A and B are shown apart, each in its own frame.
Chain A
Amino acid sequence: MRRERGRRPERSKEGVVAWRCRALVVLCAIPVLLVCATTAVPAPPLRVESLQPPLIAVLPFENLSASSAPLKEMRAHLVKRLQMRGMKLLGEEELLALMKAYRVRYTGGVEPRVAESFRGEAGVGGVLITSLGLYMDHIPPKVTLVSRLAGTDAPYTVIWADSVSLSGDDAPGILGLGLVYSVEVLMPRALDRLANSLAAHLLSEKPPTADRRVGTRYRPRGFYRSPVMSEGKRYSVAVLPFVNQSARRYAGELIALKIIEQLRKSEGFEVLEPGIVRDELLQFRIIFPEGASMADADILFERTKVDLLITGKVMDYDDSRGPGGAPNVTFYMQVIERQSRQVVWASHSTNRGDDGVFFFGAGRVTTADALASKMMAAVIQRIR
């Protein structure tokens, strides 16, 4: 059949109606799909595989948010979620009895004697330490949780580490339908993600991996890398609390936790549990208002037997309050190597949450913690 040039083929009346119906269905489906895309779907509980996870003691949450928060309820939620995923947890009464017997008051880390007692008396294989980094219950609500699993065997390294940062305006969607107005909605999502990440690691031996696609905008502004650092070598690392010169309380501890998380996620590093480092600092009464001196570094190298010491300074760690604001993070980092007794890495990084954001807020980072994670991932990539 030949088609005449310049003339459209004629459609029947039924065909036109059917075509219009299909177009209407597609148009109606688009907003529904968009709303679904912006709303987080809770992940299904993971099934227990053949691997046997160790017995875990979940310590009470450490509050680094500098605000009051329902820590007990949050911990109870996490325990419930971990049990749902087949984790073996130390009973509450047994945990409290052990904490009372060894006078454990600091829950932001594990000291060697506590780790030994947990292992010897209750057969605990790992201690789960969770820190609340941010808890904002006004609009938009924000939540940050940093968690790690510390081994109870010498040399007391961090087995797993991950963090979650959520904000109510992370995915506003069309007409703001994806906005979350309550921290009670965000918190279960954050706890779910942490529980899934830990379960995935312990049950399938799949560690959370570092984000390899960190944008160039998060790279350090200036850095020095000594040729002493070899690429293939596996380093043991101790992270010291950063000197905090920002307006935010506990920013030094928070940035140190970010480093631990990113080091654990990248290959080639074995991270010493920060509770062990804290114990040594207290024992030798080491305080460093400007970062570690070589004399301090020598003591820590001798006691902890690590290859690298990470120290630094935080100048900005600001979370914006209210909608539309951008977080701001600035830090300096130095790495001292044991054998050469020299600084083998130095860098300074500074970013805002809206760096490189031009259209409709795409790529905006809403919390200082998430921003610090990206910046730290970029630093660790460069160190490797």
Chain B
Amino acid sequence: MFKLARKVVVAQLLIFLLGGCATSGERYQNPTMDFGTVRRVAVLPFTNLSRDTGAAERVRDVFSTMLLATGSIYVVPPGEVLRGITRTTPADPARPSPEEVKRLGGIIGVDAVITGVVREYGEVRSGQTAANVVSVSLQMIETQTGEVVWAAETTKGGITLRDRLFGARGEPMNVVTQQAVNELMDKLFGTKTKTKTKTKTKTKTKTKQ
């Protein structure tokens, strides 16, 4: 009887520990790629699959700022990216072909370009409960070879147990976006980002190098 109880406790602990290890998205990283050579990147316009027409721009701007804020990579201004796109004339600026990426890299002088897709951005409802959710996937393409060297996706927000029990409406959209971008940064740099939320709408971020 005592042994059985001990087994149950151990099993519960394992479940908790494994639950903590779970991530909310997947990641691919080219094992032969030296990411130290990537000093300048261009963040291309993201594809928007959500209902909010401004979602792609919002996520792109937050991501660009946060990437620049790491101090490790220089992000070319969006006006310069547009100049490159105008001169390269890709069929779809959000999803350029390897040849188009190479040409773009030559024009604006970047080591890699980042493309992205905003799959979800907005409110989700379940019964009487609602909360904000953001789902984004990104790819980094090297401009020398035109190959995808890194890819990751994340989903943040959504309805939690607290929302269901207490009728809370989840975090504000901007906070959820920030959380999603922070997770993408973690996946890009392979580090853990400290996120300290002081108030409901304020998020302070520090990235360990």
Q: Which residues of A line the B interface, CB within 8 A?
A: 216-217, 219, 221-224, 245, 288-297, 311, 313, 315, 330, 332, 334, 336, 342-343, 346-348, 350-352, 355-356
Query: Is B54 a contact partner of A315 (Cβ separation < 8 A)?
Result: yes
Q: Please name all residues of chain B whose beta carbon is closer than 8 Å to the beta carbon of A347 when the two chains form the complex.
A: 65
Give min CB distance, B85 to chain A, whole Å: 9
Contact of A295 among B57, B75, B81, B83 (CB under 8 A): B83
Binary interface encoding of chain B residues 55-81 relative to chain A, with 1 for a CB under 8 A from any of its CBs, else 0: 001100110111011010011011111
Given contacts A216-B202, A355-B199, contact A293 B77 (CB under 8 A): yes
Tally A-B pairs: CB < 8 A. 87
Q: Please name all residues of chain A whose beta carbon is closer than 8 Å to the beta carbon of B54 when the two chains form the complex.
A: 245, 315
Q: Is chain A's binding surface mostly helix, strand, loop or mixed?
A: strand
Q: Please name all residues of chain B whose beta carbon is closer than 8 Å to the beta carbon of A330 when the two chains form the complex.
A: 58, 174
CA distance A342 to B64 in the complex (A): 14
Give min CB distance, A136 to chain B, whole Å: 24
CA distance A69 to B79 in the complex (A): 36
Q: Please name all residues of chain B whose beta carbon is closer than 8 Å to the beta carbon of A293 when the two chains form the complex.
A: 77, 79-80, 82-83
Query: Is B79 a contact partner of A332 (Cβ separation < 8 A)?
Result: no
Residues facing A in B162-208 (CB within 8 A) are: 174, 178, 198-199, 201-203, 205
Query: Is B82 a contact partner of A290 (Cβ separation < 8 A)?
Result: yes
Given contacts A288-B79, A336-B77, contact A217 B201 (CB under 8 A): yes
Contact of A315 among B57, B65, B77, B198 (CB under 8 A): B57
Q: Please name all residues of chain B whose beta carbon is closer than 8 Å to the beta carbon of A245 when the two chains form the complex.
A: 54, 57
Query: Is A224 a contact partner of B178 (Cβ separation < 8 A)?
Result: no
Residues facing A in B78-115 (CB within 8 A) are: 78-83
Q: Is chain B's binding surface mostly helix, strand, loop or mixed?
A: helix
Query: Is A224 a contact partner of B202 (Cβ separation < 8 A)?
Result: no
Give min CB distance, A309 to chain B, whole Å: 10
Query: Is A222 a contact partner of B83 (Cβ separation < 8 A)?
Result: no
Given contacts A217-B201, A330-B174, contact A223 B65 (CB under 8 A): yes
Query: Is B66 a contact partner of A292 (Cβ separation < 8 A)?
Result: no
Given contacts A245-B57, A315-B54, A356-B199, contact A290 B79 (CB under 8 A): yes
Q: Please name all residues of chain A whose beta carbon is closer than 8 Å to the beta carbon of B80 when the two chains form the complex.
A: 293-294
Q: Please name all residues of chain B whose beta carbon is closer than 8 Å to the beta carbon of A223 when the two chains form the complex.
A: 65, 69
Closest partner residue, chain B, to A342 (CB atom):
B74
CA distance A296 to B83 in the complex (A): 10
Query: Is B199 a contact partner of A290 (Cβ separation < 8 A)?
Result: no
Contact of A222 among B65, B199, B201 (CB under 8 A): B65
Given contacts A217-B201, A295-B83, A352-B201, contact A224 B68 (CB under 8 A): yes
Query: Is A217 a contact partner of B178 (Cβ separation < 8 A)?
Result: no
Given contacts A217-B202, A315-B58, A332-B61, contact A224 B77 (CB under 8 A): no
Given contacts A221-B62, A223-B65, 19 further A-B contacts (CB under 8 A): A217-B199, A217-B201, A288-B82, A290-B81, A293-B77, A294-B77, A294-B79, A311-B79, A332-B61, A332-B65, A334-B77, A343-B74, A346-B64, A346-B75, A347-B65, A348-B62, A348-B65, A351-B201, A356-B199
Give min CB distance, B183 to chain A, whole Å: 14
CA distance A336 to B78 in the complex (A): 12
Query: Is A346 a contact partner of B178 (Cβ separation < 8 A)?
Result: no
Q: Please name all residues of chain B whose beta carbon is closer than 8 Å to the beta carbon of A313 when the two chains form the complex.
A: 57, 61, 78
Q: Please name all residues of chain B whose beta carbon is closer than 8 Å to the beta carbon of A315 when the two chains form the complex.
A: 54, 57-58, 61
Give min CB distance, A374 to chain B, whole Å: 14
Cross-chain pairs A/B with CB under 8 angstroms, 20 sampled: A216-B202, A217-B201, A219-B202, A221-B202, A245-B54, A245-B57, A289-B82, A290-B78, A290-B82, A293-B77, A294-B79, A311-B77, A315-B61, A332-B65, A343-B68, A343-B77, A346-B64, A346-B75, A348-B62, A355-B199
Closest partner residue, chain B, to A351 (CB atom):
B201
CA distance A290 to B78 in the complex (A): 6
Q: Please name all residues of chain B whose beta carbon is closer than 8 Å to the beta carbon of A352 when the two chains form the complex.
A: 201
Query: Is B61 a contact partner of A348 (Cβ separation < 8 A)?
Result: yes
CA distance A342 to B202 in the complex (A): 29
Q: Please name all residues of chain B whose beta carbon is closer than 8 Å to the beta carbon of A355 when the two chains form the complex.
A: 199, 201-202
Q: Please name all residues of chain A whose beta carbon is closer than 8 Å to the beta carbon of B174 when the two chains form the complex.
A: 221, 330, 350
Query: Is B69 a contact partner of A346 (Cβ separation < 8 A)?
Result: yes
CA distance A342 to B76 in the complex (A): 8
Closest partner residue, chain B, to A312 (CB atom):
B61
Q: Please name all residues of chain B whose beta carbon is closer than 8 Å to the beta carbon of A291 when the two chains form the complex.
A: 77-79, 82
Given contacts A223-B65, A224-B68, A332-B65, contact A343 B205 (CB under 8 A): no
Q: Please name all residues of chain B whose beta carbon is closer than 8 Å to the beta carbon of A332 when the two chains form the complex.
A: 61, 65
Q: Please name all residues of chain A whose beta carbon is closer than 8 Å to the beta carbon of B71 when the two chains form the complex.
A: 224
Given contacts A217-B202, A222-B62, A245-B57, contact A296 B79 (CB under 8 A): yes
Q: Please name all residues of chain B whose beta carbon is closer than 8 Å to the beta carbon of A290 when the two chains form the complex.
A: 78-79, 81-82
Contact of A221 among B75, B79, B178 (CB under 8 A): B178
Query: Is B203 a contact partner of A343 (Cβ separation < 8 A)?
Result: no
Query: Is A221 a contact partner of B203 (Cβ separation < 8 A)?
Result: yes
